[in-house]
Structure 1
Amino acid sequence: MPSNLTDLSRGLALVLTIAVLAGCATSKEKLLPHGDNTMMDVWQQNAGDGGGGTGQVARRQLLDARQSLRRPLTDADVQAAPAEQTRYTRTARNEVYRQFQRLPNPDLVMYVYPHLAGTDPVPVPGYTTVFPLYQRVQYAMPGERTEAY
């Protein structure tokens, strides 16, 4: 049994050695060819700014891709546009109804026990005070959920 394990480890070491030597055998020039073009030249050729044949092809492909994403407005889109736009238009009617609802800011109630205050200890009776939980008032975007979760 131990000899099988030794043979296996020797075979694994041999395969690993061959892989490492094969990796070292690749030349840098073959793997990363170096030409006279700068990064800016490569960018301009492939982005369509170079004026060469490759740039024109890239520019045409870009325009074709944009054109395939465009679509004409349907009659339903044209009919729905005024109603959609009036939702965000300010009028006297919708100024009364707030578009930006205030988010809940619960009040905290605190009782202050009777105590002495000041340099000359003056008795202060106990009292209750109310203050908001959050320092600032926050508002929801139009259509955002504002009811309790």
Structure 2
Amino acid sequence: MHSNWIKALLLAAAVATMSGCATSKEELMPHGDRTMQDIWYQADGEGGSGQVARRQLLDARQSLRRPLTDADVQTASVEQMHYTRTAANEIHRQFHRLPNPDLQMYVFPHLAGTDPVPVPGYTTVFPLYQRVQYAMPGERVEDY
């Protein structure tokens, strides 16, 4: 019974393969009147150096540009001042450290080692986080 299904599946695959070969190249990929050389020269700019295409691109970009107004110039300098390094803002931190509180842990007296040696109880201090974390500019302004 399984061989009947396999034969039917193989027959369907063969028919699909043969129908793929029955289509013509022109029907599948129509050929226009332009040659590959025409396409190349159009994209590269008539002489092969690309000067015409680059010139057309620059002209299109130039038509999209607009001049800056006085308000744009003034606000740009104020905005850029926050990110420019100067002697005045060099001493102020831009990325503040986030708090990393110290934890105190008491270690009870215990025996340690292969030959049990008594260790007296002691207190130790360690930071909560393993690494120092920093805040983004403006995220945390108060010192701790």
- TM-score for the superposition, normalised by structure 2: 0.53
Compared CA separation, residues 131 and 28, structure 1 to 2 (3 A): farther
Compared CA separation, residues 59 and 95, structure 1 to 2 (3 A): closer
> Is this contact kept in 1: 2:97–2:133, CA < 8 A?
yes
Q: What is the CA–CA distance in structure 2 between the aligned matches of 1:36 and 1:64, rounded to whole Å?
A: 28
Match of 2:119 in 1: 124
> Is this contact kept in 1: 2:45–2:53, CA < 8 A?
no
Match of 1:29 in 2: 26
Match of 1:15 in 2: none
Match of 1:51, as an amino acid? G
| Aligned with 1:51 (options 45, 53, 57) | 45
Compared CA separation, residues 130 and 27, structure 1 to 2 (3 A): farther
Match of 1:29, as an amino acid? E
1:97 Cα offset (Å): 2.8
After superposition, the C-alpha distances for 1:62-88 in whole angstroms (9 at most, x for unaligned) are 335433543221111211233223222
Compared CA separation, residues 111 and 27, structure 1 to 2 (3 A): farther
The structure showing larger relative contact order (alpha-carbon pairs under 8 Å, at least 6 residues apart) is 2
Counterpart of 1:52 in 2: which secondary structure? coil
Compared CA separation, residues 126 and 70, structure 1 to 2 (3 A): farther
Counterpart of 2:76 in 1: which secondary structure? helix
Q: What is the CA–CA distance in structure 1 between the aligned matches of 2:36 and 2:27, rounded to whole Å?
A: 17
Match of 1:13 in 2: none
1:56 Cα offset (Å): 7.6
The question of 1:94 aligning with 2:85 is answered no
Counterpart of 1:116 in 2: which secondary structure? strand
Gaps of 5+ in 1: 1-19
How many residues are aligned here? 119
1:32 Cα offset (Å): 2.2
| Aligned-pair identity (%) | 76
1:99 Cα offset (Å): 0.6
Compared CA separation, residues 27 and 104, structure 1 to 2 (3 A): farther
Match of 2:65 in 1: 70
